[in-house]
Amino acid sequence: MGKVKVTVSFVLTFCMLLSIGSFSTETKAASKFNYTDAFAKSILFYEANWCGEDAGNNRLKWRGPCHVDDGSDVGIDLSGGFHDCGDHVKFGLPQTYSASTLGWAYYEFKDTFIEKGQDEYMLNINKHFCDYFIKCFVNDTTFYYQVGDGDTDHSYWGPPEMQDTERPAFYVATPETPGSDVAGSAAAALALMYINYKDRDLEYSKKCLDTAIRLYNFGKKYRGNSKAQTYYTPASYYDELMWGAVWLCIATGDKSYLDDVETFMTERGIGGDKVEYYNHWTHCWDDVFGGVFLMMSQLSDKPKYKEAAEENLYFWINELTTTPGGLRYLHEWACLKYAASASFLALVYNKYSPDQKYVDFAKSQIDYILGDNPRQSSYVVGFGENYPKFPHHRAASGRLEGELTREDKNDPERHILYGALVGGPKEDDSYVDDINQYVYTEVGLDYNAGFVGAMAGMTELFGKDQEPEETPDIESGPPEYSIEAQVTYENEQQSVINANVYNVNMAPPHFENGITVRYFVDLSEFYEKGYSVKHVKTGIAFTDNGAKITGLQPWDPSNNIYFAEIYWPASVKMFGKSQFQFKIYTSNATCYDPDNDFSREGLPTEKTEFFKTQCMPVYKDGKLVYGKEPYKDPTITFTPTPVTTPTPVSDVVIQMYNSTFHSSNQVAPKFCIMNPTSKTLDLTDVKIRYYYTIDGDKPQTFSCDYTPLGDGNVTGEFVKMDNPTTDADYYLEISFKAGKLEPEECFYFSTRFWKTDWSDFDLSNDYSYNEGGGDYEDWSKVTAYVKDKLEWGIEPGTVIVVPTPTPTAKPEILYGDVTGDGSVDSIDFASMRLYLLGIRKDMPAANWEEAGDLNGDGEVDSIDFAKLRRHLLSIT
């Protein structure tokens, strides 16, 4: 209990000193800049670098869960934390430095964070840092501090959500491989979290403090620098251990930590009554002496710390190289982060030792960053005039480079990386806004850490009456789909089309399945010459990612309009640009005229030119997402003159044809399931049976070659019939593990099966075989069951009894009953369709011409077909 009393007493006393040392310097006239807005945006940047399962739970909706398996190679959950810069490695020192510096900024300017509504955001960010550090400190002698291989990571350019490269737990601090610097720096961050958060969540804050103490002791006992491949090579660990000791002293009130600082100073060779160390860097990831000296000038009564802190600031204000535009220029790499951090230290020191020169210095550097420079340009993304448009940042770029996606990071970035401070200009104030020139355009956790503190201080001085501005496009836009195409070759027998389809879904970024493209053709010239759709074929000529194409399918057969659908197997992950080339051709006719095809409109014939077309519509999961479809004849309202109530339409309609000849070593039925009802059809309730003769009983294998449902969701089972017929002794039962079919929708899928010895089938005597000519048609010799109830087709061996009608003077006409079976149902619909397609010359009913003439114009045509369809669907 005694220690608690000491803690409270010490902290209260120190906080009173801070309040006495609050800003009292007279400030100059307000700047033209909205410091409060820059302050708010500088915090928002960290949400772009958020890593882990909850990366999509922040304000940036173009971020999502990423790298959730970090640590799996060592069997430990190391997910969370923050990506380092524009890459996705989680490095040790820059991350712990950033967390502690942000915590320090909140500690010094807490009231400003609260007044400007930024306290929740800042504390949430700091908590995410600390959650990660606690997770990484798995026991008192094991602290993981780097996840990801910098070399491998830098070879990837794309959103972190889509990265699948290996991310090993690369470095861990142990007694044998110490990391005193990362341990001390993380201890500082955790101690600050305790100080800043204890009034909100005391239990969590105590956990942070306990971890901080243990981490500090670990780093103090086992000495040595951390590693970071070649990316962050520390010069010393003493300053980080001192930094940890400073904040543990403030958090606990235990002044023995100040003794540790003295001990470390002596060990470092800069002890004694005077600091023999003139530190001309500033507070940064590898050198926190600036922060140590400044805080020790307030914690210790020894004048050497005050002298050291003031000497450092004097150098920055009076002696450091200055660009023609007024920027203090320490180093060409990330010159602005040093200027921002030095400004932060000046503003903090001004709280304790008020002097206008510190304010003037900080204002000059921050104003330069915000746009008061020879280029009259802001160096903060999303703020001010002419801000950088190409920060070197993979997530903000949103471009996924690779052989298949064919995206380029040099293209305009998909997102605005609000608040990011870029590296900055050269010594002559020149700047190149090029994503590849990362000395200029790099951003990072440590770049913004001191900048957040400086903006908090500037806001306290100059932003009392300012408010944050809007952040347009903070949320990702809708998915982007488009297609461009060109004609590669065409003549009277074929048309060859080259196309690129684009799909980009950034909310959050992810690969997609279920993309399809339709190409519509008009076959009127074929029908005029006595040909039909069965004489026109399709094929893929080239694809870079497995594109496939269906045969021509009916769209508006009464007007000879058909379409081919290009699709990709479910195993193909699509994002960005997918290239494919396909052809529509005939070998029997020489009458093909591509110019009347709906999808041919506007396509150039020059091979070097593509045209963005609306006439090749793009679909996602069967729904139109880009482009337009060709016109269909308007549906005519059906006003029947019924004699009896028609039999309700079945719950499902099956269309089918076979793509193999009469004799083949495999059977390849292609199916279309139609939902003619007004309700959603759950495909998991549906089973389809295809009947055939085995022609030599052997084991068989089933394959689904195409389905938009995804691999493994269409299954087949072979069943030997208990009561075989001459045309069927087996059936293939097809079922579905997923999928729903909305009213009037169709679902196409292609199957094959074969005997394991590859012996031939004789398909000519098979009950369900339909040569079909490459065209889907209603096929009652395939049966369909919904919840095990027969809803479509006729099972083989079924005896159909046709009653002998009682003759009358004039038979009563049942309109729509073109088959003459006494009911109006889907069989009539199929028969009329075959008649209109020219496949059959008449229909079964003796009075079919009268029964089929639903509008009474003396003809059976497409208008009657449309009326019958609407009647069966119960559409008024």
The answer on 458 and 564 residing in a single domain is no
The answer on 120 and 78 residing in a single domain is yes
Is residue 212 predicted with pLDDT exceeding 60?
Answer: yes
835 domain-assigned = no
Print the domain residue range for 712: 653-792
Is residue 130 predicted with pLDDT exceeding 80?
Answer: yes
The answer on 409 and 439 residing in a single domain is yes
Q: What is the mean pLDDT of residues 191-220?
A: 99
Residue 844 confidence (pLDDT):
66
Reported confidence tier of residue 55, pLDDT bands at 50, 70, 90: very high
Number of domains present in the structure of the chain: 3
* Cα radius of gyration rounded to whole Å, the chain: 37
Is residue 735 predicted with pLDDT exceeding 80?
Answer: yes
The answer on 493 and 456 residing in a single domain is no
SS3 content of the chain, % helix, strand, coil (to 5): 35, 20, 45
Reported confidence tier of residue 103, pLDDT bands at 50, 70, 90: very high
Q: What is the mean pLDDT of residues 527-537?
A: 91
232-270 pLDDT tens trace: 999 999 999 999 999 999 999 999 999 999 999 999 988
Q: Which of 503-507, 810-814, 820-824 has the highest mean pLDDT?
A: 503-507
Nearest Cα residue to 88 out of 203, 231, 186: 231
Tell me the C-alpha to C-alpha distance, in Å, between residue 359 and each of 345, 348, 528.
10, 10, 87
820 domain-assigned = no
Residue of 67, 88, 128, 392 with catalytic role: 392
The answer on 531 and 456 residing in a single domain is no
260 is annotated as an active-site residue: no
873 domain-assigned = no
Residue 837 confidence (pLDDT):
61
Handedness of CA 587, 593, 594, 597 (dihedral sign): negative
The answer on 593 and 702 residing in a single domain is no
| Cα–Cα distance measured from residue 776 to residue 36, given in angstroms and rounded to the nearest whole number | 66
442 is annotated as an active-site residue: yes
The answer on 227 and 134 residing in a single domain is yes
- Residue whose token pair is 């399709």: 538
The contacts of residue 250 (CB under 8 Å, 6+ apart) are 10, 11, 14, 191, 195, 295, 299
Q: What is the mean pLDDT of residues 853-870?
A: 71
Residue 272 confidence (pLDDT):
82
Q: Which of 579, 611, 626 is the last residue of a domain?
A: 626
Is residue 29 predicted with pLDDT exceeding 80?
Answer: no
The contacts of residue 591 (CB under 8 Å, 6+ apart) are 492, 525, 526, 528, 529, 531
The answer on 189 and 66 residing in a single domain is yes
The number of angstroms, rounded, from the C-alpha of 770 to the middle of its chain's C-alpha atoms is 44
Q: Which of 203-212, 506-515, 669-678, 851-860 has the highest mean pLDDT?
A: 203-212
827 domain-assigned = no
584-604 pLDDT tens trace: 998 778 999 999 999 999 999
87 is annotated as an active-site residue: yes
15 domain-assigned = no
Residue of 429, 433, 762, 861 with catalytic role: 433
CATH number of residue 709's parent domain: 2.60.40.710
Is residue 21 predicted with pLDDT exceeding 60?
Answer: no
| HEC string for 105-150 | HHHHCHHHHHHCCCHHHHHHHHHHHHHHHHHHEEECCEEEEEECCH
Residue 12 confidence (pLDDT):
40
The answer on 501 and 438 residing in a single domain is no
The contacts of residue 527 (CB under 8 Å, 6+ apart) are 560, 838
Q: Which of 430, 462, 494 is the last residue of a domain?
A: 462
Handedness of CA 590, 595, 601, 605 (dihedral sign): positive
Reported confidence tier of residue 344, pLDDT bands at 50, 70, 90: very high
Angle value at C-alpha 479, between 476 and 481, nearest 5 degrees: 145
837 domain-assigned = no
Reported confidence tier of residue 799, pLDDT bands at 50, 70, 90: low
The answer on 408 and 267 residing in a single domain is yes
838 domain-assigned = no
Tell me the residue type at 700.
Q
37 is annotated as an active-site residue: no
Is residue 742 predicted with pLDDT exceeding 90?
Answer: no
Q: Which of 462, 493, 508 is the last residue of a domain?
A: 462
Is residue 159 predicted with pLDDT exceeding 90?
Answer: yes
The contacts of residue 25 (CB under 8 Å, 6+ apart) are 350, 354, 355, 356, 358, 359
224-235 pLDDT tens trace: 999 999 999 999
Residue of 131, 442, 651, 825 with catalytic role: 442
Asked whether 721 and 728 are in contact (CB, 8 A), the reply is yes
pLDDT above 90 as % of the chain? 71
The answer on 659 and 622 residing in a single domain is no
Is residue 499 predicted with pLDDT exceeding 90?
Answer: yes
Q: Which of 35-49, 264-278, 422-436, 507-521 has the lowest mean pLDDT?
A: 264-278
CATH number of residue 144's parent domain: 1.50.10.10
The answer on 494 and 435 residing in a single domain is no
Q: What is the mean pLDDT of residues 771-775?
A: 60
Handedness of CA 202, 203, 204, 209 (dihedral sign): positive
Residue of 87, 131, 260, 565 with catalytic role: 87
323 domain-assigned = yes
